Amino acid sequence: MKKILSRVAAGSAASVSIIAGLAGPVAADSATTQGPNSPAWASSHRSYYTRVHNNNNISATNNNSQRAYTGDSRVYNNTTTGNASTGSANNSNSLAASVNVNNSASSSAALGGNGGSGGSSNTASTAGPNSPANSYSSYRETTKVTNNNNLDITNNSTQHATSGDASASNNTTVGSVTSGNATNTNTSSFNISVTN
């Protein structure tokens, strides 16, 4: 028995095709001669071919755009002022993506063979003189598994954070003048599993 296993790692659609060659029960061939100088020949040949072709194309894209701005804090022309402040501006984004592709069933089916039991049983017999008995049998099994996995992961994150102005002028007594915080947070997680 001959097996050829070919794996090409190049992952969401999988295309599987299996083509089997000659399949069927094992033959029992026989040849019998009774006269002189009558050689007997019994021969058989079995051949099987299986092909599995998996194409996995996986594409994942995450586009994240965030902008955070706080206002201005200004104090002008006052005798006495307390504290002046602006609030905070916060953005948060989180992405978790999981993709699982499993082609092991088709690959295992192909590698399991085509149902042949290993060859043929031949019987050649002669009864006359100078009558040789010849028996020949062959069995060949070829299995080819091709897996093409194409993975394309894109993560685009654009963030802008701007804190406002804090100013005070022409005041006698001024407390604290502050602007708030501007923050952006982005978290991305991709988990892709391909089993061939």
List the chain domain ranges: 28-195
Q: What is the mean pLDDT of each run of 10 residues along the chain (196 residues)?
A: 36 39 48 69 82 87 88 85 86 86 80 56 67 78 88 87 86 86 88 86
Q: For the segment 41-80, what is each residue's pLDDT rounded down to a tens digit? A: 777 888 888 888 888 898 888 888 888 888 888 888 888 8
Query: What pLDDT is recorded for position 21?
Result: 41
d(CA 24, CA 119): 11
Query: What pLDDT is recorded for position 2?
Result: 37
Report yes or no: 164 and 84 within 8 Å, Cβ to Cβ: no
Report yes or no: 182 and 161 within 8 Å, Cβ to Cβ: yes
pTM, 2 dp: 0.52
> CB burial class (10 A; 0-12, 13-18, 19+) of residue 31?
middle
Phi, psi of 167 (to 5 degrees): -145, 150
Give the number of other Cβ atoms within 10 Å of residue 48's Cβ: 20
Residues 6 or more apart from 92 whose CB is under 8 A from it? 184, 185, 186
Q: Which two tokens stand for residue 117?
A: 């039991």
Q: Which residue has the tokens 């085509």?
A: 114
Query: What pLDDT is recorded for position 19?
Result: 41
Query: What pLDDT is recorded for position 31?
Result: 66
Query: What pLDDT is recorded for position 70?
Result: 87
